[in-house]
Amino acid sequence: MTDRFETTIHDIARKLNISASTVSRALNNNPIISEATRQKIRQTAEEMGYRPNTLAASFRTKRTNTIGVIVPLINRHFFSSVISGIEEVAYKSGFTVTISQSNDQFEKEAKIAHTLFTNRVDGIIISIAMETRQFDHLKLFSAKNIPLVFFDRVVDEIDAHKIVADDFGGAYFVTKHLIEQGAKQIAHIGGPLNLKIYENRQAGYVKALEDAGIKLNHSMIINNTLRREEGTEAIQTLLKDNNTIDAVFCANDTTALSSIIYLKSIGKKIPEDILVMGFSNEPFSEVVTPSISTVQQPGFLMGQKAASLLIEQITNKSENHEFLTIVMPTDLIIRESSVRK
Amino acid sequence: MTDRFETTIHDIARKLNISASTVSRALNNNPIISEATRQKIRQTAEEMGYRPNTLAASFRTKRTNTIGVIVPLINRHFFSSVISGIEEVAYKSGFTVTISQSNDQFEKEAKIAHTLFTNRVDGIIISIAMETRQFDHLKLFSAKNIPLVFFDRVVDEIDAHKIVADDFGGAYFVTKHLIEQGAKQIAHIGGPLNLKIYENRQAGYVKALEDAGIKLNHSMIINNTLRREEGTEAIQTLLKDNNTIDAVFCANDTTALSSIIYLKSIGKKIPEDILVMGFSNEPFSEVVTPSISTVQQPGFLMGQKAASLLIEQITNKSENHEFLTIVMPTDLIIRESSVRK
DNA sequence: TTGTATGCGTTATCAC
DNA sequence: GTGATAACGCATACAA
């Protein structure tokens, strides 16, 4: 009910018999204003219950102090870690963060991008949807010089800062570990190869086999979108085609889990009969039986880095066109599912 | 580089030799404009690459078409389900959703609330932090007639629509189920009682015992903030004080899990020696061994309901001051951890 | 150090 | 059905 009456800088100015611009400057800590008047202004602003109209300010300055974040799913531990990292940095710099999820759908992603664009976010941070193979909705931003930072699932053909985990290295060491455990027939359940991260994970797997002198068998690789049921189907197919498989490297923990569940259901023992490893270290991986060996990505750090690079771009509209691709190290997490007893 | 030049309704008007107001009306589908001119305007707007300046519009109309959502953690399955429900409804109604997480900290929650307030969101949907016991930061919104909807962790002393799951009923049936499985000494690891949901879960437990003629033993109830380590500590204490316990009802799945892990570590078998049940149906509960019996809350539906109630309030600034508290039904999910073999 | 004047792009209120 | 005009609250270029 105490509605309708918002005090403005003009109200404050009138009350103090000074000009609105002085009030504006004081409230924005413009050093040109004397300490005395600044104090006075801040105090009466407080007394009058003044709250700045960010809408008016944004409209005037063309800056919203808002960062848009688009992720496939906020529900995944990795993505929510990244978001937390982004939030931390953004808050400290006075930016608001708008989070949206594409549900891995191209349509939704494109719609979100347009909305953020129309809402004039100052910049966006994105990990693209599995379905996304076409990037006009993102080129919008480059076209208007709105900074864009990719993380995790990056797009080659757009110039921008990119933060990725060392997918290649992680996958390489996973495979190497499996080989060291005595595995000879290592299968791979991989993601869609239009996404660089899955391409890299697969490449790491291939390279490790190569380095160990193990011949690559293409029938031991299956690519899908790594959902739970797809993991079950994939492991079934793999076993049918190659019943000598003694290890499986899955490109995420979800398919590692469904593989384990299926393998257990047909009487295979893990790790005794087949070693299994995943990727991403989802929370469940630690607590299932057997616990799942996996690769930890530094999500929080990646988020922090992405946000600070973005904010730097927003703040210094520097014509510094050197775009970085930062590869963050991953950690191998060895648990029960990959250690031969 | 194609920066700086944004076409405005004035540019369109000039090109068409009509007035800006006509353009504005046409673009907003004001029915008063003739179909012919509307067509013409829309087309040239398209051709000129016009994008509406929502900032200016929001500034003018004092409506941002933005809904703020504050949750403790986006990382929890329940909360991300609610968020998805909110998003779905909001998008359909043309609202943008800004999501923030309080990390269950009062300070962070208050800061977020102020930011949303200053950013003039049209309404907010919130589930409060565990630490929150004081509500000035939320009363701000009521004071300015900004609609507010609570879900899950609601606040009694603020009048608003509230969407909750049937915590009492869920807990009642959990306890009843444990009793039916033959349990006589049922312990409870509960949440902080300043939160209504945990009070209700505890009340459901108490009522079920009472209805079954089992005397309540206060030393079999421990309240904490339900983090993993706290679950471990709680079950330890419970066993020390009452070594005849044959079942534990935990107010969330996290503590159910840590209880199970601890119990297994000291050689207790579940469900043979002790039955365990949780609450919320986290994804891991289905896949751990033993799988955890729990209560499913309709998160997505709760989100949809919360959003539609909020949007209704925003749209009809109706002076209809009947605030609803909607209790959504929960489902008992029986798995291995609670079924005596 | 402070004040004056102006305009950001849109919508709302009149008038025609 | 359309047009002219004012106003939203703020930040800034310029003047003093």
Residue A136 lies in a domain: yes
- Sorted by sequence, the CB contacts under 8 Å of residue B30 that are 6+ apart come out as none
pLDDT of B333 above 60: yes
The nt closest to B59 (CA vs C1′) is D8
A159 Cα to chain B: minimum distance (Å)? 14
DSSP secondary structure of A273-292:
T-EEE-SS--HHHHHSSSPP
DSSP secondary structure of B246-292:
-EEEESSHHHHHHHHHHHHHTT--TTTT-EEE-SS--HHHHHSSSPP
A118 Cα to chain B: minimum distance (Å)? 7
Bridging pattern class, strands B186-190 and B331-333: unpaired
| B55 neighbourhood in chain A, CB within 8 Å | 55, 58-59, 62, 64, 119-120
What is the structure's pLDDT at B199? 96
What is the structure's pLDDT at B2? 37
Mean pLDDT on B41-47 = 92
Mapping DSSP to helix (H, G, I), strand (E, B) and coil, where does residue B48 land?
Answer: coil
In contact, B336 and B271? CB cutoff 8 Å: yes
A26 Cα to chain B: minimum distance (Å)? 18
pLDDT of B147 above 70: yes
**What would the pLDDT profile of B251-281 be if each residue is shown by its tens digit?**
999 999 999 999 999 999 999 999 999 999 9
What is the structure's pLDDT at B1? 32
Residue B58 lies in a domain: no
Please check whether residues A72 and A92 belong to one and the same domain: yes
Q: Which residue of A has its CA nearest to B140?
A: A2
Please check whether residues B92 and B185 belong to one and the same domain: no
- Residue A174 in tokens: 């996973």
Provide φ and ψ at B203, rounded to 5°: -65, -40
- Sorted by sequence, the CB contacts under 8 Å of residue B161 that are 6+ apart come out as B149, B150, B306, B309, B310, B313, B323, B324, B325, B326
d(CA A19, CA A87) in angstroms, rounded, equals 37
End-to-end CA distance of chain B: 71
d(CA B148, CA B337) in angstroms, rounded, equals 39
d(CA A129, CA B7) in angstroms, rounded, equals 31
Please check whether residues A236 and A250 belong to one and the same domain: yes
DSSP secondary structure of A219-264:
GGEEE----HHHHHHHHHHHHHH-TT--EEEESSHHHHHHHHHHHH
- Burial degree of B213 (CB within 10 A; 0-12, 13-18, 19+): exposed
Mapping DSSP to helix (H, G, I), strand (E, B) and coil, where does residue A332 land?
Answer: strand
Measured over the CA atoms of residue A92, residue A98, residue A102 and residue A106, the dihedral's sign is negative
Closest to B54 in 3D by CA, of B26, B95, B89, B87: B95
Please check whether residues B160 and B171 belong to one and the same domain: no
The structure's pTM equals 0.87
Residue B312 lies in a domain: yes
pLDDT of B222 above 70: yes
A55 touches chain B (CB under 8 A): yes
Mean pLDDT on B233-243 = 94
Asked whether the beta carbons of residue B80 and residue A77 sit closer than 8 angstroms, the reply is: no
Please check whether residues B84 and B25 belong to one and the same domain: no
Q: Which residue of A has its CA nearest to B90?
A: A100
Provide φ and ψ at B210, rounded to 5°: -60, -50
b/e per residue, A73-109, with b = 16+ CB within 10 A?
bbbbbbbbbbbbbbbebbbebebbbbbbbbbbbbebb
Asked whether the beta carbons of residue B284 and residue A283 sit closer than 8 angstroms, the reply is: yes
Which residues span the domain enclosing B28?
9-52
DSSP 8-state code for residue A293: B
Residue A2 lies in a domain: no
- Given the structure tokens 């797997």, which residue do they identify? A205
Bridging pattern class, strands A123-126 and A148-151: parallel
**What would the pLDDT profile of B161-205 be if each residue is shown by its tens digit?**
999 999 999 999 999 999 999 999 999 999 999 899 999 999 999
pLDDT of B301 above 60: yes
Residue B198 lies in a domain: yes
Provide φ and ψ at B291, rounded to 5°: -65, 145
Please check whether residues A111 and A19 belong to one and the same domain: no
- Domain harbouring B20, CATH code: 1.10.260.40
Mean pLDDT of chain B: 92
A287 touches chain B (CB under 8 A): yes
d(CA A271, CA A258) in angstroms, rounded, equals 15
What is the structure's pLDDT at A319? 59
- Burial degree of A70 (CB within 10 A; 0-12, 13-18, 19+): buried
Provide φ and ψ at B73, rounded to 5°: -150, 125
Helix then strand count (H, E) for chain A reads 13, 12
In contact, A319 and A291? CB cutoff 8 Å: no
- Residue B144 in tokens: 């300015």
DSSP secondary structure of A25-64:
HHHTT-TTS-HHHHHHHHHHHHHTT----HHHHHHHHT--
Residue B59 lies in a domain: no
What is the structure's pLDDT at A6? 84
Please check whether residues A161 and A171 belong to one and the same domain: no
Please check whether residues B213 and B288 belong to one and the same domain: yes
Spatial distance from the CA of B55 to the C1' of D8 (Å): 12
End-to-end CA distance of chain A: 71
Please check whether residues B173 and B275 belong to one and the same domain: yes
B261 touches chain A (CB under 8 A): yes
- Residue A45 in tokens: 């602003």
- Which residues of chain A are modeled with pLDDT < 70? 1-4, 317-321
What is the number of structural domains in chain B? Answer: 3
| A97 neighbourhood in chain B, CB within 8 Å | 98, 100
What is the structure's pLDDT at B304? 97
Please check whether residues A305 and A254 belong to one and the same domain: no
d(CA B270, CA B274) in angstroms, rounded, equals 5
d(CA B163, CA B324) in angstroms, rounded, equals 8
- Tell me which nucleotides of strand D come within 7 A of a protein CB: 1-5, 7-13
- Tell me the residue type at B317: K
Confidence of residue B38 (pLDDT cuts 50, 70, 90): very high
Please check whether residues A229 and A179 belong to one and the same domain: yes
- Domain harbouring A149, CATH code: 3.40.50.2300
pLDDT of B318 above 90: no
- Residue A328 in tokens: 């963050």
What is the structure's pLDDT at A74? 86
Confidence of residue B317 (pLDDT cuts 50, 70, 90): low
Question: 3-state SS string over B129-143?
Answer: CCCCCCCHHHHHHHH
Residue A179 lies in a domain: yes
Return the top range by mean pLDDT from A172-176, B11-15, B19-23. A172-176
Provide φ and ψ at B123, rounded to 5°: -175, 165
What is the structure's pLDDT at A49? 87
Asked whether the beta carbons of residue A51 and residue B283 sit closer than 8 angstroms, the reply is: no
- Given the structure tokens 């959504």, which residue do they identify? B328
Q: Where are the beta strands (DSSP E) in chain B?
A: 66-71, 96-101, 123-126, 148-151, 161-165, 186-190, 221-223, 247-250, 275-277, 294-296, 325-328, 331-333
Q: Give the residues across from A164 on adjacent strands.
A: A327
b/e per residue, B296-333, with b = 16+ CB within 10 A?
bbbbbbbbbbbbbbbbebbeeeeeeeeeeebeeebebb
B232 touches chain A (CB under 8 A): no
Residue A59 lies in a domain: no
Mapping DSSP to helix (H, G, I), strand (E, B) and coil, where does residue A212 land?
Answer: coil
- Residue A284 in tokens: 């469940």
Please check whether residues B189 and B264 belong to one and the same domain: yes
A288 touches chain B (CB under 8 A): yes
d(CA B24, CA A301) in angstroms, rounded, equals 45
Question: Can you give the C-alpha Rg of chain B in angstroms?
Answer: 26
In contact, A199 and A221? CB cutoff 8 Å: no
